[in-house]
Amino acid sequence: MTTILGLSGSLRRASINAGLLRTARDVAPDGVNIIVGDISQVPLYNGDDEAARGTPPAIAVLNAQLAGADGLLLVTPEYNNGIPGVFKNAIDWMSRGEGLALFAGKPVAVIGASPGGFGTTQAQTHWWPVLRTLKTRPWWDGRLMVSRAGGLFDADGNLTDDKTRAQLADFVAGFAASLASGKD
């Protein structure tokens, strides 16, 4: 069984990126399990709080999920042409202390959906320096940017477009195959 931890960078209930992640889980090939992680309970990083209370429970859960995963799938919105602050904050917390070692060598893929015409091109590109700093192994063989996503999802954030679902299924299958073969 190949296990992938999937994280959506949006906190919205009807987020198209959370919907994209749920669909990725649903279209994953046999033998691939995508665990949908939850960043909604991650507090803003504050070194004083960390010193006083240690690792927040939400981060302990995410780090345990990351430790048990063969790969990481980041599903990123794009806010003001960049990475959403709440998403970066979660990754920053996860990489504190011993958490940093969990990222080293971990294969990572990045996808995203946006109502705009360019998908999440800039947000995805902004993730690469962060992932390089964390010493991850980005999967370069695939890229998925869902543009004009407003018409592809329903009011609850569920993907309704068959063409996008097929593209996502191909992407997930390719990433999973790279994990199974040790190729990234």
Which CATH class name applies to 2-181? alpha beta
127 closest CA partner among 7, 5, 4: 7
Contact, 149 vs 16, CB < 8 A?
yes
pLDDT in tens, 105-157: 999 999 999 999 888 999 999 999 999 999 999 998 988 999 999 999 999 99
> pTM of the prediction?
0.96
Pairing mode, if any, of strands 32-36 and 2-8?
A: parallel
- C-alpha 13/C-alpha 167 separation (Å) is 24
Interval 12-16 mean pLDDT: 94
Residues 6+ apart with CB under 8 A from 176: 2, 4, 28, 29, 31, 32, 71
